[in-house]
Structure 1
Amino acid sequence: CHVCRKAFSKSSNLRRHEMIHPGVKPHGCHLCGKSFTHCSDLRKHERIHTGEKLYGCHLCGKAFSKSYNLRRHEVIHTKEKPNECHLCGKAFAHCSDLRKHERTHFGEKPYGCHLCGKTFSKTSYLRQHERTHNGEKPYGCHLCGKAFTHCSHLRKHERTHTGEKPYECHLCGKAFTESSVLRRHERTHTGEKPYECHLCWKAFTDSSVLKRHERTHTGEKPYECHLCGKTFNHSSVLRRHERTHTGEKPYECNICGKAFNRSYNFRLHKRIHTGEKPYKCYLCGKAFSKYFNLRQH
Structure 2
Amino acid sequence: MDMSGTYSATTSNVKEPPGMNKFKRPYSCEICGKCFMRPSHLSRHVRIHTGDKPYFCKICAKRFTRSSAVKNHMRTHTGEKPYSCETCGKCFAQASYLDVHVRIHTGEKPHFCTVCGKCFTSQATLFTHMRMHTGDKPHSCEKCGKSFAQSSSLTSHLRIHTGERPYSCKICDRGFTQSSSLNNHIRTHTGEKPYSCEKCGKCFTQSGNLKCHMRTHNEERPHSCKICGKNFAQSSTLSKHFKIHGRKTT
TM-score class, shorter-chain normalisation, is 0.3 to 0.5
Whichever of the two has the greater Rg, that structure is: 2
TM-score using structure 2 length: 0.48
